Chain A
Amino acid sequence: MENIDYQKLEFPYVRPHELDESSERRHPVVVVGAGPVGLSMALDLARQNVPVLLLDDDFRLSTGSRAICFAKRTLDIWDRLGVGQRMMDKGVSWNVGKIFFRSEQIWQFDLLPEPGHRRPAFINLQQYYVEGYLQEAAEREPLIELRWRHQVANVRETDDGVIVTVQTPDGLFDLHTRYLIACDGSRSPVRKMLGEESHGRTFRDRFLIADVKMEADFPSERWFWFDPPFHRNQSVLLHRQPDNVWRIDFQLGWDADPVEEVKPERVMPRLRALFGDDAKFEIEWVSIYTFSCLRMDNFRHGRILFAGDAAHGVSPFGARGANSGVQDVENLAWKLAYVLEGKAPDSLLDTYASEREYAADENILNSTRATDFITPKSEISRLFRNTVLKLAKHHDFARTLVNSGRLSVPATLHDSPLNTPDADAFEGRMVPGAVALDAPVRGGEGDWLLAHLGDTFTVLRFLRPGDAVPTATDLGFTADIPVRVIGIYPAAAEPAPGAVVDADGLAHQRYDARPGTTYLLRPDQHVAARWRDATPERLQAALARALGRIEETVA
């Protein structure tokens, strides 16, 4: 299994049966684009019991390594989708970054300095492996139908759905679907068909990516050079990938010729300057990229929803592209499932747009600031940048100003209409709208708190040793919305059915918990509400609010 060359895989095109027999079938959801976002979307919808038709215009996985940095939150989501461990086993874990200015190392940092998390800050893994593992999981999932060489030629909204015209090698046919999710990348054909554009800034800079295969003893760290002796006046980034492949990004400036610069005779001297004349390596893949920080004004257009690069784009510094796309997935999948089942109003989908537009703005802000630091736009800006780097050698304060990419962390959805604002006093990071933090636990389904949360609404109730775990019925929940109740005992206690033990006390600390403290978590593991004293009335009101049934909530 491990010897599959994922870049060479070709998937069979099957002549669509719709061409030979008229089909009245109406799909609940069609997803366009089988990249990391589209495949994750299909898997998450299937976990919510929604049948998915996934269309891709190609019949291969990603060419070249492309997105390589996958962040902790993405791994947590893939754990929920059952593919996290596979990614971990193949990926290169790293937490340490080093910053160099000219010929000196300025300092190094640890991205995940606190223990007690299942997943590291990042793994590096070539996009074709990510897509390959997701595709294999999708293949095993009976609710997912994945079709290759099915290109969307037209979309037309009707009163109750979308008619999708699909182009195949054997001809055109129409599909009917209640909702369409466009995960078709930065050039999104579906977006163009709607006459929509993403708005933002395009940066006047070019970067050369080279993947080289090399036996080398560099550690698994992220190394970033500002103005190094081997590539004057520009920046260079070095990352390790699996299979002894190293990713190097060379900043080239706007005047670089994209056709000339990818030629081996131009690339090799740059690599030799970095690795030395004695290093033995071969080039695997070379590409030139430019980038923009931009997004669509609205991620929802009626029954068509946009996710991933189709909806928003960022510069690569900070690994916020694919990672934010996978966070789009976890936000949308449960909402769409609840709307399709009639458990939530259609307006819940508006909150997909508003929450993820907010997150996109945060990602764009962070990646724009990093880009402005890396690529100063004026002489004075460069002076400040270089002076910060010199100060950073000796002074802590200047290190906080050095920005080679603020690496991807999930947005806290502070102002979401789905949040119930705190009525009780709490400390710490687990505010309404935050993603639930992990912690080591004992008992039940595994050693990590997040593994216990599942894909439904979850009540997390902190208990005294020996306290019984309340049932969902005890808490006033009815069967129409499944709610899982997880009890947490302090470190010294023993686990019980439905309850885990806070192995190192970290859950209590991270959730600022006392006996009786109760969290209501959404199916995407975001905090919907929390209380010191959770009554059934409060829980019901918060659940209704988190489902977008605003009119039912108690003021």
Chain B
Amino acid sequence: MSQLNTAANLSGPDAFYEALIDAHRDLSLEQSHELNAALILLLSNHIGDMALLRDALQRARHVALDAVD
């Protein structure tokens, strides 16, 4: 089973981030949520591996519950 790769893997991190934010341009908050949901579903299907997706879900949930103040 492969591991979730959390090392730097994007060939152009800044270009990716710009494209991500740009994809949300002029959308309402509700539309942005929808975009994010669609994006997660698309990428999840691409990944396919259930163990790996569970790992990612767990890490993401941890971030959401981690109150940094």
Contacts and interface: CB of A to CB of B under 8 A. Distances in A.
Interface of A: 101-104, 229, 366, 369, 372-373, 377-381, 384, 387-391, 393-397, 399-401, 403, 406
A384 B19 CA distance: 12
Given A397-B8, A403-B14, A390 B21 contact: no
Given A380-B32, A397-B9, 19 more contacts: A102-B68, A102-B69, A366-B14, A369-B14, A369-B18, A372-B21, A377-B21, A378-B32, A380-B27, A380-B36, A389-B68, A390-B63, A390-B66, A390-B68, A394-B6, A395-B59, A396-B7, A397-B6, A403-B17
A387 B69 CA distance: 13
Given A387-B63, A390-B66, A372 B9 contact: no
Interface size class of B (residues with CB under 8 A): 20 to 34
Interface string B2-18: 00011111100110111
B42 interface: no
B26 to A, nearest CB: 9
B18 A372 contact: yes
B29 interface: yes
B17 A401 contact: yes
Interface in B39-68: 59, 63, 66, 68
Given A397-B9, A399-B8, A379 B68 contact: no
B20 interface: yes
A104 B29 CA distance: 29
Contacts of A369: 14, 17-18
Q: Shortest 6 CB-CB distances between A and B: which pairs? A: A400-B13, A380-B32, A395-B6, A400-B8, A102-B68, A369-B14
A394 B13 CA distance: 17
Contacts of A101: 68
A103 B18 contact: no
A233 to B, nearest CB: 12
A103 B66 CA distance: 13
A265 to B, nearest CB: 28
B6 A401 contact: no
10 contacts: A101-B68, A103-B68, A378-B32, A381-B24, A389-B68, A396-B8, A397-B5, A397-B8, A401-B14, A406-B14
